[in-house]
């Protein structure tokens, strides 16, 4: 498949990351559709700001698009794929899911005649070049790389298995978000025993970077912990499938589950 300028791309769904991904494509001259059915006003505002076109429902979007890109919380990846079951174009799952979950999504897409690309995004929402990579794998990864070429989202093909991109994302996030959970747990233990101030003072002496890093972890956990629960569980599944202990990331999921913030509005 040769994806030329002006290709019609469906995006499920334009959250903070998804909207930035969509804007990369609209700025490159592609038409990007989204589905407003069941989405929040906040999501609609993001979609409008990114220059996306409302197709109404996922089914209408799938009927018009040559490519569909899924950017959603990990726990929703399969449901999002089911919403366009029967799509026969090129489907990219760019979510933080395990290789095993990616294979399930891929089977769902390919069993009805579609083609599947495994993906994983590392970095913040891609607004400026040089900050964010889109890892891609599978036999149809090259056309997807071409779609994003020259945009702020840098596409990189990972050789190996068809789900190698998800494996990169899982290994990377096992450290970045796993260590954030570990710092939150350490502070929670110190707080429970009334020695958090002493811990922070010791960190300032012996581990001067940790105090600020733990504050950033607390802020991120409060804002995104609800989303990272599923990601930690996907990492745990990846560890178990590789014959490695999965308990640490199961515990990390519980740490994020306890972060003091309600889920955001649907969308």
Model pLDDT, residue 261: 58
Please check whether residue 266 lies inside any domain of the structure.
no
Model confidence over 221-266: pLDDT tens digits?
Answer: 878 888 899 999 999 999 999 999 999 999 999 999 988 755 444 4
Are 113 and 240 found together in one domain?
no
What CATH number does the domain containing 179 carry?
Answer: 1.10.1040
Are 104 and 36 found together in one domain?
yes
How many Cβ atoms are within 10 Å of 90's Cβ, its own excluded?
23
H or E segment to which residue 136 belongs = strand 132-137
Model pLDDT, residue 267: 47
Residues in the chain, total: 267
Model pLDDT, residue 4: 63
Pairwise CA distance, residues 39 & 43, whole Å: 6
Are 174 and 155 found together in one domain?
no
Count of structural domains within the chain: 2
Pairwise CA distance, residues 164 & 203, whole Å: 37
- Average pLDDT along the chain, 267 residues, taken 10 residues at a time: 77 95 96 96 95 97 97 96 96 98 98 97 96 97 94 97 98 95 93 96 92 84 86 98 98 91 49
Look at strands 132-137 and 115-122 and give their pairing. Answer: antiparallel
Are 66 and 117 found together in one domain?
yes
Please check whether residue 126 lies inside any domain of the structure.
yes
Are 231 and 105 found together in one domain?
no
Domain C-terminal end among 131, 162, 193: 162
Please check whether residue 265 lies inside any domain of the structure.
no
Model pLDDT, residue 227: 85
The CA-CA-CA angle for residues 132, 110, 29, to 5°, reads 40
Residues 88 and 112: beta-carbon distance below 8 Å: yes
Residue 13: asked if its preceding bond is cis (omega within 30°), the reply is yes
Domain C-terminal end among 143, 162, 181: 162
Are 131 and 73 found together in one domain?
yes
Beta bridge partners of 119: 136
Domain C-terminal end among 162, 179, 204: 162
What CATH number does the domain containing 102 carry?
Answer: 3.40.50.720
Tokens 């300028």 label which residue? Answer: 5
Q: Alpha helices, DSSP H only, in the chain?
A: 16-27, 41-49, 58-64, 77-82, 99-110, 141-148, 164-192, 196-206, 208-241, 247-257
Are 181 and 95 found together in one domain?
no
Which domain covers residue 205, as residue numbers? 167-257
Print burial letters for 95-130: b (CB count within 10 Å at least 16), e (below 16): bbbbbebbbebbebbeeeebbbbbbbbbeebbeeee
């Amino acid at each position: 498949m040769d994806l030329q300028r002006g290709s019609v791309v469906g995006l499920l769904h334009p959250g903070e990351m998804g909207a930035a991904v969509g804007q990369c494509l609209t700025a490159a001259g592609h038409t990007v559709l989204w589905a407003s059915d069941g989405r929040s006003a906040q999501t609609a505002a993001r979609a409008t700001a990114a220059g996306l076109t409302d197709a109404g429902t996922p089914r209408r979007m799938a009927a018009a698009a040559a490519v569909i890109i899924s950017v959603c919380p990990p726990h929703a990846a399969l449901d999002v794929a089911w919403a366009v079951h029967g799509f026969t174009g090129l489907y990219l799952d760019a979510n933080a899911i395990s290789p095993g979950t990616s294979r399930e999504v891929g089977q769902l897409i390919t069993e009805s005649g579609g083609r599947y690309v495994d993906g994983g995004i590392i970095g913040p929402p891609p607004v400026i070049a040089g900050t964010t990579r889109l890892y891609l794998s599978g036999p149809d990864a090259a056309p997807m790389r071409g779609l994003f070429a020259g945009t702020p989202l840098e596409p990189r093909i990972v050789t190996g298995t068809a789900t190698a991109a998800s494996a990169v994302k899982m290994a990377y996030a096992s450290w970045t978000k796993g260590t954030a959970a570990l710092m939150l747990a350490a502070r929670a233990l110190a707080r429970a025993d009334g020695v958090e101030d002493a811990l922070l003072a010791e960190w300032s002496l012996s581990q001067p970077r940790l105090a600020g890093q733990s504050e950033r972890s607390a802020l991120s956990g409060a804002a995104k912990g609800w989303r990272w629960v599923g990601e930690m569980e996907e990492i745990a599944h990846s560890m178990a499938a590789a014959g490695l202990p999965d308990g640490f990331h199961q515990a990390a999921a519980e740490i994020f589950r306890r972060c003091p913030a309600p889920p955001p509005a649907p969308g």
